[in-house]
Structure formats: C-alpha cells, structure tokens
Amino acid sequence: MTQKPCPLYSQIPAIDRLLHEPQIAPFVEQYGQTLITATLRRMQEQVRINIKQYQELPDWCDNWAVALGQRLERKQALALKPVFNLSGTVLHTNLGRALLAEPAIEAVTQVMRSPVTLEYSLNGAGRGHRDRALANLLCELTGSEDACIVNNNAAAVLLLLATVASGKQVVVSRGELVEIGGAFRIPDVMVQAGCQLVEVGTTNRTHLRDYQQAINEETALLMKVHTSNYSIEGFTAEVSVSELAALGVKSQIPTAIDLGSGSMINMAQYGLPAEPMPRDYLDQGIDLVTFSGDKLLGGPQAGIILGKKQWIEAIQHHPLKRALRADKMTLAALEATLRLYQRPEQLCRQLPTLRLLTRQQQEMHDMAQQLLPEIQAYYGDRFIVRSEPCYSQIGSGSLPIDRLPSWALTFAAADGQGSTLEQLARCWRGLAKPVIGRISGGRLWLDLRCLEDGKELLQALLL
C-alpha cells in the first residue's frame, strides 16, 4: 500500500508566493532578491527537516516575514562588533589594542573616499615611495636617519633579519628569546628569515664577553629583544645598549633591538612607568630599532623600523617589503597619529591610549558611585553589587609588572554559585554592544578605566 505524503509539507509556502508578500517585499528591496531567495530556501529546508523529525511545523512558520527578518539581522551582523572594554586591560590584543584618535579616523575616511598620493610624486608627476612622507616625519620625531613602515612589528623583525642576516648568524641573549601572543617566537622568526640563531649567556645573566666570544666570520647581526611582556628579577645581568652598540662598531657588525611596544615619549612625565624609547637606542649607536604602531604609540597596527640610512635602503629594496608593506589606510592613520606628537602639549587629551592610561583613580571612583544606585536596583535581587578599588594593566606586553590604580563595579552571585556569574558574563557578551569584564576571586569585575560614557553602559545593562 502506498504511503500518503504528510499533509504538513503542503503547508510550506512557495518561494514565489513569499517574495510577493507585502511584509517580505521590503526585505527584497533592501537586501536584493538573490539573498532573500537563498535565505527562504534554507528556511524551507529547515521546515522539511522539522516535519521529518518531529511531525510538526516550527513555531516561526506562523510568520515567515518576522522569522526572515531575524535571520537576516543575524546574518548581516558585522563580525567585528564594538564592545565595552571593562576587562581592566587598556591595550587588549583581542579587543583591537589602541583606539585611534579622531584625526586618524578622519584621515582614514578621507583616503577611503578619494584617490590619494600613495605612490605619486606631485613634484615629478611620477611614481613616488609610499613610506617617504612618514619616514621624514619619523626622522623628525626620533632623530633617526631613515625609516621603513610595514604591517606589524613581527613583519618588521622578519624583514630586518631577512635583509641583514639571511644565511648568516644572529647573536641574541638567552634571556631575550621571547614568545609573544599566538605562540610567536623570536627563534621561529629567525628560521623563517633564513638566519641561524646563536644563543649566548644564560636565562638570567648575559655579559658582553658572551657576545664577543660568539662573533666569527658568519656573524651578521648582534641583537637585543626588549622583554616587554615579562620581567626577570633577582640575580640578573644584561648587556647595556651602549655596550652592544660599541661592540658592533668595533667588530663592524650591525646591531638591532626589537622594542616590541615602543613608546615615542617619556611616559614618566605623565606619572606612568618609564618605557624605553627608540630615540634613546638610536642615540646610543644602535643601527636598527623596530616597534609597533598600535601599542603605546597609540596608532594603527603597523611595524616601524628606524635606523641607519644604508640599512633602511637595503630593507626597502628587499623582495619581502612588497608583501609586508602597509596599505593606504594604515599609512593615513599612522601619519595623523604621529602628527599629534608634534604638539605634545595636547597629546594627553587627543591620544585615546594616553588619555585612558593617565586617568586618575578618583575619576573612575566618581563614575562608579554615579552608576552604582541604578545598577544595584536592577541587579540587586540576584547579585551583590559593590563599588571597589582595583588595578588596571597597560596590556599587549607593555610594562607587564606595572599596575594602574583604578575603580570597578563588582558582582557577586547572591546564591554563591560561580555558574551564576558565568551566566551573567555570557549574557553581557550577547548584548547588541557586548560588555567585556573579568571574573576573579568569585566576583565579576567591570573595571571603569576604559569607560568614558557611563550613560551608554547603563543603557546596555539595564535591559
């Protein structure tokens, strides 16, 4: 006996009929017929699967237009979503590191909307070099002979090594063979650059004689790596920059240092922990210095190489440079950021990274007191909400052992269950603008250092 088809299948509307429904027509106008048709076909298939498994229609079949709108909203949502960074880490790698200053944002918008002189010389009406204008600006700010810009600091180190020491030996202290986020290791970069790593000294102590004894006819570079993401304390010794530079001159071997985060200004003048500056090392005779653009500099992701003109020219002509070069938007944002450093009196106000790092604890305390009553009223039945002091960190490997006094709102679960806090944190991550805090010591902390608009947070949390 032939089995009769399930009558539920006949209740699945045809695509042509759906496309002509008044409630769905606006979606076709907004997104186009191709996307809407493909989405509706997937929805039809979901209905068939539901009927086959459960012998019923999904609840949303009562209103295909509403279900379609919800799917389109999820599908069209951007992967890179703005969030509230209340994690306590200012330069958070996973959240995009430095926020750009308004002049940098305007500069990027301008080059996106119009043809620009990226590699065009207005003087000669011919081909120019994309790094030239920024190189001149960097030389003015740092005293360097020349400069090169690539897409990040890892690329800067790779390009430097491939140019200066490919097929040769590079001498580095064992205490400086760093690993940064994403398992990026200096020894691995050297392998990719075609260099042979020569480790000298020990984990905690390296002397000038260790470098001297390692030098031979195959030595192409003497290198230091700033240990920006950790600190070795106690019985330690390291070779000073001036000693290494002098040894390089005496041995006729170039010297280089990877600064990692790299600060363009003396952070101590703003009450922050001191961080080495590129100018300091160049003044002491180091040939090449590399650092990032999106950490303490406060600009876009970029890698900057400063140093002697002969080496920068060689780096610019290496075949890898084209693969690692920065695009027009990066260059525009970086130039606008660097120009802020020409007006240091206004820097603390205009550069978001510096502004957030220099906020006084009292400012966050006052904000916490303003937010607390409404948040307690909303969450008080399920959580114990308090205003408490805390410490922020700079982040992205910058000054790892230094902390900045800050203030936070903390949430402890009234039922004492850690899963309740996890559920709250998960709920906040699902908001239209996610709220990112941290769980520590049985509490969920919202560090207010990176929050400058308390009203916006209230609108997000008080749903």
Locate 446 and state its tokens. Answer: 């919202």
Burial class (CB within 10 angstroms; exposed 0-12, middle 13-18, buried 19+) of 127: exposed
Q: What is the pLDDT of residues 283-297, one digit of tens each?
A: 999 999 999 999 999
Q: Rounded to whole angstroms, what are the CA distances from 268 to 141, 328, 395?
A: 18, 33, 17
pLDDT by residue (tens digit) across 99-156?
999 999 999 999 999 999 998 888 877 787 899 999 999 999 999 999 999 999 999 9
pLDDT band with cut points at 50, 70 and 90 for residue 1? very low
Pairing between strand 196-200 and 169-173? parallel
Q: What is the pLDDT of residues 421-448, one digit of tens each?
A: 999 999 999 999 999 999 999 999 999 9
CATH class of 84-94+356-462: alpha beta
Q: Is the pLDDT of residue 349 over 60?
A: yes
The predicted structure's pLDDT at residue 274: 83
The string of pLDDT tens digits covering residues 140-172 is: 999 999 999 999 999 999 999 999 999 999 999
Under the banding of pLDDT at 50, 70 and 90, the label for residue 232 is low
State the pLDDT confidence band at 175, using cuts at 50, 70 and 90. confident
Q: Which residues of 415-431 are buried (b: 16+ CB within 10 A; e: fewer)?
A: eeeeebbeebbeebeee
- In what order do the strands lie in the sheet containing 288-292? 146-150, 303-307, 288-292, 255-258, 219-225, 169-173, 196-200
Sorted by where each begins, the domain ranges of the chain are 9-76, 84-94+356-462, 102-346
pLDDT tens digits, 369-384 = 999 999 999 999 999 9
- Percent over 90 (pLDDT), the chain: 75
Mean pLDDT of 288-313: 96
Task: Point out the least confidently predicted range of 21-30, 199-208, 454-463.
Answer: 199-208
What is the reported pLDDT for 74? Answer: 87
Is the pLDDT at 229 greater than 70, yes or no?
Answer: no
Percent of all residues in the chain with a pLDDT value above 70, rounded to a whole number: 94
Better pLDDT: 246 or 74: 246
Q: What pLDDT score was predicted for residue 182?
A: 53
Is domain 102-346 classified as CATH 3.40.50.720?
no
Q: Is the pLDDT of residue 415 over 60?
A: yes
**How confident is residue 203, by pLDDT bands cut at 50, 70 and 90?**
confident
Per-residue confidence (pLDDT) for residue 275, from 0 to 100: 83
pLDDT at residue 3 tops 60: no
